[in-house]
Chains A and B, each alone.
Chain A
Amino acid sequence: EDKVVQSPLSLVVHEGDTVTLNCSYEVTNFRSLLWYKQEKKAPTFLFMLTSSGIEKKSGRLSSILDKKELFSILNITATQTGDSAIYLCAVYGGATNKLIFGTGTLLAVQP
């Protein structure tokens, strides 16, 4: 069975801390791995990763994929209260070629 597992389930940090969110997967027919940020409404796209070892970066956020060990990490440096959200990892693939989501990591950044 295809699955995507995120850890930790939740995390509380203080402003300025650096956090690392984890995503491991077992998905047949892997095509890509995506990260989304979800605040109070729709998930918004952060990154799409298809190749191992190539870091994608956007401001204080960065992500990398390891296709040999079947995981990805999302790093956030110098966290701010506006980073508080659920971070979703999803893998595109599986028997029917669609997104398979993890449970998400709830990040709370305290002032």
Chain B
Amino acid sequence: DVKVTQSSRYLVKRTGEKVFLECVQDMDHENMFWYRQDPGLGLRLIYFSYDVKMKEKGDIPEGYSVSREKKERFSLILESASTNQTSMYLCATKGVNYGYTFGSGTRLTVV
């Protein structure tokens, strides 16, 4: 089974801090995604990557950046965290079929 690991389940950060959310997968999948999930809004795509060093903006990239230096690791970066970035963040990978495999999520609170 594909395993997608997000480094933190819960994070509390202060406004203005730089925040790194890490995602590691163990199945050599090329496609990786970062979503945020908010009540009533569902999952919204922030960034995705089809290969190492390749990144594309999703639907809501503002305030975020990403890094993919190695195939197995996809990092989401909040350059200067703000309270409106308090959310659940989900990382996902996609293999050769259409299904995505999700990590357990990181619930980020910005105070």
Q: Does B48 contact A (CB under 8 A)?
A: yes
A16 interfacial contact with B, CB 8 Å: no
Q: Do A102 and B45 have beta carbons less than 8 Å apart? A: no
Kindly list chain A residues whose C-beta atoms are within 8 Å of the C-beta of B100: 34, 90, 99
Are A42 and B40 within 8 A (Cβ)?
no
A103 CB-CB contact with B under 8 Å: yes
User: Does A9 contact B98, Cβ atoms closer than 8 Å?
Assistant: no
Task: List the count of A-B residue pairs having beta carbons below 8 Å apart.
Answer: 44
Interface of chain A residues 90 through 111 with chain B (CB within 8 A): 90, 92, 96, 98-99, 101-104
* Selected interface stretch from B11-19, B62-70, B71-79, B101-109: B101-109
B33 touches A48 (CB 8 A): no
Q: Per a CB cutoff under 8 Å, which of A32, A48, A98, A102 touches B42?
A: A102
Q: Which residue of B lies closest to A5 (CB)?
A: B42
What's the Cα separation between A48 and B99 when bound, in Å?
8
19 A-B contacts (beta carbon < 8 Å) = A6-B42, A9-B40, A32-B98, A34-B100, A42-B4, A42-B102, A42-B103, A42-B104, A45-B101, A48-B97, A88-B42, A90-B43, A96-B56, A99-B98, A101-B35, A101-B43, A101-B44, A103-B42, A104-B43
User: When the two chains form their complex, are residues B105 and A34 in contact, meaning their CB atoms are under 8 A apart?
Assistant: no
Q: What's the minimum C-beta distance from A37 to chain B, rounded to whole angstroms?
A: 11
Instruction: Give how many A residues have a beta carbon under 8 Å from the other chain's beta carbons.
Output: 21
The residue that B43 contacts in the complex, of A9, A31, A32, A88, with Cβ under 8 A, is A88
Minimum CB–CB distance for B71 against chain A, Å: 18
Q: Beyond A31-B98, A48-B99, A102-B42, is A42–B48 a contact (Cβ under 8 Å)?
A: no
B96 contacts partner chain A, Cβ-Cβ < 8 Å: no
Asked if A101 and B42 sit within 8 Å, CB to CB, the answer is: yes
| A28-71 interface bits toward B, Cβ cutoff 8 Å, 1 = contact, 0 = none | 00011010000001111100100000000000000000000000
